[in-house]
Structure 1
Amino acid sequence: MAASFFLAVAVAVVALAAGGGGGGGAEAATVEHNFVVHEMNATHLCNTTKIYVVNGQLPGPTVDVAEGDTVVVHVVNKLPHGLTIHWHGVRQIRSCWADGAGFVTECPIPPGRQHTYRFNVTGQVGTLWWHAHITCLRATINGAFIIRPRDGKYPFPTPAKDVPVIIGEWWQLDLIELDRRMMDGNFDDNPLSATINGKLGDLSNCSGTVEESFVLDVVRGQTYLLRLINTALFSEYYYRVAGHTFTVVGADGNYLTPYKTEMVTVAPGETIDVLMVADAPPGYYHMMALANQPPEPDLQIPVFTSRGLIRYAGAAANNNGLPVPMPVMPHQHNTMPSYYFRKNLTALALPERHRVPMHVDERLFITLGLGSICRGTNKTCQRRRGPETIVVATMNNVSFLHHNTSSLLERYYDGTSEGLYTEDFPDRPPRPYNYTNRELIPPGPLEEALEPTFKATKLRRFKYNTSVEIVFQSTTLLQSDSNPMHLHGYDVFVLAQGVGNFNPKVDVSKFNYHNPQLRNTVQVPRGGWAAIRFLTDNPGMWYLHCHFEFHIIMGMATAFIVEDGPTPETSLPPPPPEFKRCAANGFSQP
């Protein structure tokens, strides 16, 4: 890239009002950024790869605001592809138009065009993130979104410094081609490495030359707030620092009851805030991120790890001749540490307005798995991953049909949705079975009778102020992966989780109504379930999907319509002036 381009970007990426500090009870401000999205080449592991980035950065720029601020981001699309930017975890109260879910709340920004996102951050404090929400581009188009307390006070010791630690993946395959392959049911492609803040780490090398590592400089005795974000397309990660422990204090923009642990688990879409005291003898210490995955007979992927360094001030450059300590990590196929980590998390004393709804108006039981459809126009075909089928992902045996010419929100708001979607997303699967039977994983053979499914755009409508309870059930149908389920526009109470099939006669007694976590992304355990509850108090069109990219592309998704409330203050306003309708972006309505 030319130096003049980066100079222009550096000038453009400016907070017009000092929202980043957020301390001292300052008045709410407007924080403004320019995001220039473009291609550039990057060389890793002996190969030069074309990647997609914002402002020449990987990860992209951090949006740093205080609670109550207004955020304005001007996105300039210099890619040859359309894209949107999603503000992951931002509640978007009455600003659904700015949610940035491609073909759900807006049509993509065309090549060479620009779009402005404008929204408020109210009632949230902590770590969120932003990312592209078209195809697989979020692998490199992403960054941290930090919301600081307006008064500058935390319910834990104020850290000396806070640091985003963004765990991701390095793909050599072009991300647009990766998306095309996954739409065809191919999920055999893999990244080459894990990354920490865009660095592959010194476990990766090319012809004996090691890759660069992320280095965190610390001063002994000081406390650091690590803002862990998993931007990976494929994997949940374990994270640990040798010789140090963590105190978990937040997740997904909400405070948690402080919980001490030696290791953190973070799934795609999730954020975890931890305090780390630099209390080890001065020296160097490795941090490590390790991807977990199901054991055989699930399809196997390589071991993905990345490691960085903790470097103490005053430490000798050669670590006094001693080896740099390595953290002890779980086995790659041991997913139970993830389950137990989450079972130990509860919310800090919640404000009155965040009490769990004790009545339930609507109950859904949603199974999460894979299925298959016949290729072409065939009505019958050979199953069990045969060449005549396309493997798809499903919720209650429905694989979501993603449209690519219309915005669901725009058509809903205009009252022109006929023929685009139906509002009959099922409350439960079409027939019960042993959802966690391992004989449903190929080579089976029990999966053949259960895998046939279909593609359809089935949504669910809720009246305003409806109390909704959902039990997500991970299945072993064609695979036994976990499922990080993300609901746009809402935080949900995670009442409980368990291993095996959900049993309402037994498991409801495990629900935590006192201080459950509030999350926007819920990790449904491998071969297990998770129960959530929320109140539909934010009108609009809200995407619900798994945050494993191959699951979302293959159809593990739906959208919830939340109707307007009885007053203007409880209703979705018209599109703001900066919103560009699909027709204005060159998309014709069918």
Structure 2
Amino acid sequence: MKVSAIFLFLGLLFFGSIFVSEARVRHATFVVQETSYTRLCSTKKILTVNGDFPGPTLYAETGDTLIVDVQNKGNLNITIHWHGVKQPRNPWTDGPEFITQCPIKPGGRFSQKVILSDEEGTLWWHAHSDWSRATVYGAIVIRPKKGTTYPFPKPDGEVPIILGDWWKSDIEEVLQEFLRTGGDPNSSDALTINGQPGDLYPCSKQDTFKLVVDYGKTYLLRMINAGMNNIFFFGITNHTFTIVGHDAAYAKPFESDYITIPPGQTLDVLLKANQPPNQYYMAAKVFVGGGAAIFDNTTTTAILEYRGNYTAPSPLPLPILPNITNSTASQSFSGSLRSLASAAHPIDVPLEISQKFLFTVSMNSVPCNNTVDCTSRNNVRFKASINNITFQAPKIDILEAYYRGINGVFGDDFPRNPPLEFNYTGNISAALRTPRNGTEVRVLPFNSTVELVYQGTNLLRGIEHPMHLHGYSFYVVGWGLGNFNKDEDPKNYNLVDPPLMNTISVPRNGWTAIRFRADNPGVWLMHCHFERHITWGMEMTFIVRNGKRSDQKILSRPSDMPPC
């Protein structure tokens, strides 16, 4: 099936978009199914939603509720997560497998209520079971409710730009080999823009995504990194972006000729079509920061095409993007993000903190027990951990166990600080690399104020970690390189206009500090959004207790929750 090369004006449909009515409750149906797709000169079956890759875009307005009937007609268990949607008091339909639900089995269905609150901008949805999100994903566009508008001039058009990956092999085979060997997974065979690899790859010229624009008009690009294991640099030849939003919150506008976007993160950027009418490459490539062993060192392209009569150059020049190991460029872009912090869009950074945490995010290794597949890898297999605990998935979901008071499913003693203090980013003894398995949670009192410092380590190798928290957005109040200094570093926190995010990349061998108020009761997953890292166990769960009032308690359990 071919994804059409089209461009969007406000109100038009994109990727089979679903925009049912002007009512505050909107309905959609997601049918998960196998579909044949051709990429890189070969055809294979992939899991899709409604036969589309990427899947349908959901349109809503701030404060709406979406009812999405998910029907699994595929051959694998599936769950769907609404990435960045806070789901107030409603963890039941958040989506992560064995955290808030058991998976929807083939032939099953689950009606998911997606409750929007103050989110405004671009979010996305994706599978949250095994590696199905390689092809099961799509955009969520949340526009201002009627009577309000964007805090910038209304654009002439808007379009989701979703960055991703493509494997020639079946993604389930890639996952099973990855689990069997204990090493790094095979890297993707191509990167993609809106599902297409671009004309630098074989057999892809005719399907390259094309965005058609009119000279002098301004377009809102809704950027999403749906990639499995890669941070991306993205740019358009001879064009500059104005960044106006991040993770469905508005930003202080700033200009850049490239963006850096980690997996899971979204950005809203304005593009002014102000260059001589012609064709221009849109391009994305990987940023690895020096820490990745295996990665896709290719460039994916799409075409920005002005309307008019002209002869396009051949070949088209590529945009000038930072080098793949340019940490300074990545950190400079991310460090420029600031909340708009206006009267119409105020911020509320917690100033008095009642709960402080330091979480090490680490790569680890464990003995292979001399299995054949691991012998060539020094008889070790990779793991990952938070505070030296590798997450062990339970057999029933944590939310169900918590709600029903079922004992033995999880512990409530996730450490507030690393169990062992050491030079986290220095030369580290191999003896520190072995984590312990556990299904531990950290319980937070309702309305407590939280400061959490993610501390990257050099245990096995230093690498960036895009950390995502379900059920919340958080303020990124500080970051730095090396070890966090609890006495000195907070003096430099930004408490005036820190960016409000749901996914933030912790710098390689560095730290990032976030703050949020625990006012959303429920069971909420936190994890690295590199898929290999979450598979290796870099995740943990917060349980936020109910408040005293009825409107501060978890909503009732839906009757159609998938069985375990």
- Number of the residue aligned with 1:290: 285
- CA deviation string 1:545-577 (max 9, x = no partner): 000000001100000000000111001021134
Matched, 1:145 2:140: yes
Among residues 480, 502, 517, which one is paired with 2:484 in the alignment? 502
- For residues 514 and 384 of structure 1, the distance between their equivalents in structure 2, rounded to whole angstroms, comes to 52
- For residues 447 and 19 of structure 2, the distance between their equivalents in structure 1, rounded to whole angstroms, comes to 36
Cα distance, 1:214 vs. partner? 1.1
- For 1:173, what is the secondary structure of its paired residue? coil
- Number of the residue aligned with 2:73: 78
- Number of the residue aligned with 1:396: 387
Among residues 104, 108, 114, which one is paired with 2:103 in the alignment? 108
- Number of the residue aligned with 1:363: 356
Matched, 1:167 2:163: yes
Among residues 193, 196, 201, which one is paired with 2:198 in the alignment? 201
Q: CA RMSD in A?
A: 2.2
- For residues 19 and 322 of structure 2, the distance between their equivalents in structure 1, rounded to whole angstroms, comes to 42
Tell me if structure 2 keeps the 8 A contact 1:249–1:258: yes
In structure 2, list runs of 5 or more residues that go unmatched: 2-13
Matched, 1:343 2:347: no
- For residues 446 and 346 of structure 2, the distance between their equivalents in structure 1, rounded to whole angstroms, comes to 16
The one-letter amino acid of 1:237's match is: F
TM-score normalised by length of structure 2: 0.93
Cα distance, 1:376 vs. partner? 5.8
Among residues 119, 122, 125, which one is paired with 2:120 in the alignment? 125
- For residues 518 and 384 of structure 1, the distance between their equivalents in structure 2, rounded to whole angstroms, comes to 44
- For residues 274 and 18 of structure 2, the distance between their equivalents in structure 1, rounded to whole angstroms, comes to 36
Among residues 94, 101, 121, which one is paired with 1:99 in the alignment? 94
Tell me if structure 2 keeps the 8 A contact 1:98–1:119: yes
Matched, 1:251 2:243: no
Tell me if structure 1 keeps the 8 A contact 2:183–2:377: no
- For residues 385 and 328 of structure 1, the distance between their equivalents in structure 2, rounded to whole angstroms, comes to 37
- CA deviation string 1:479-510 (max 9, x = no partner): 22100100000000100111222122321111
- CA deviation string 1:203-230 (max 9, x = no partner): 1115xx7463111100000000000000
- Number of the residue aligned with 1:333: 325
Structure 1 residues 222-237: aligned runs within 5 Å: 222-237=217-232
- For residues 341 and 358 of structure 1, the distance between their equivalents in structure 2, rounded to whole angstroms, comes to 26
- Number of the residue aligned with 1:426: 415
Cα distance, 1:352 vs. partner? 8.2
The one-letter amino acid of 1:46's match is: C
- CA deviation string 1:344-365 (max 9, x = no partner): 1110015687411111111111
Q: Which moved more, 1:125-134 or 1:472-481?
A: 472-481
Tell me if structure 2 keeps the 8 A contact 1:200–1:306: yes
- For residues 15 and 116 of structure 1, the distance between their equivalents in structure 2, rounded to whole angstroms, comes to 17
Among residues 400, 410, 432, which one is paired with 1:410 in the alignment? 400
Tell me if structure 2 keeps the 8 A contact 1:103–1:408: yes
- For residues 345 and 78 of structure 2, the distance between their equivalents in structure 1, rounded to whole angstroms, comes to 39
- For 2:400, what is the secondary structure of its paired residue? helix
Tell me if structure 2 keeps the 8 A contact 1:13–1:33: no
Give the share of equivalent positions with the same residue, in percent. Answer: 39
Matched, 1:574 2:563: no
- For residues 159 and 302 of structure 1, the distance between their equivalents in structure 2, rounded to whole angstroms, comes to 34
CA gap of 1:82–1:302, structure 2 versus 1, over 3 A, is: closer
- Number of the residue aligned with 1:374: 367
Tell me if structure 2 keeps the 8 A contact 1:60–1:142: yes
- For residues 376 and 111 of structure 1, the distance between their equivalents in structure 2, rounded to whole angstroms, comes to 35
Cα distance, 1:125 vs. partner? 0.6
- For residues 302 and 494 of structure 1, the distance between their equivalents in structure 2, rounded to whole angstroms, comes to 29
- Number of the residue aligned with 2:457: 475
Cα distance, 1:392 vs. partner? 0.6
- For residues 13 and 342 of structure 1, the distance between their equivalents in structure 2, rounded to whole angstroms, comes to 30
Runs of 4+ in 1 over 6 A off after TM superposition: none
- Number of the residue aligned with 1:23: none
Tell me if structure 2 keeps the 8 A contact 1:284–1:325: no
- For residues 40 and 315 of structure 2, the distance between their equivalents in structure 1, rounded to whole angstroms, comes to 25
Cα distance, 1:181 vs. partner? 3.5
- For 1:505, what is the secondary structure of its paired residue? coil
- Number of the residue aligned with 1:5: none
Tell me if structure 2 keeps the 8 A contact 1:181–1:187: no
Tell me if structure 2 keeps the 8 A contact 1:67–1:150: yes
- Number of the residue aligned with 2:21: 17
Matched, 1:515 2:511: no
TM-score normalised by length of structure 1: 0.89
- For residues 171 and 145 of structure 2, the distance between their equivalents in structure 1, rounded to whole angstroms, comes to 39
The one-letter amino acid of 1:168's match is: G
- CA deviation string 1:508-546 (max 9, x = no partner): 111011111110101111121100011100000000000
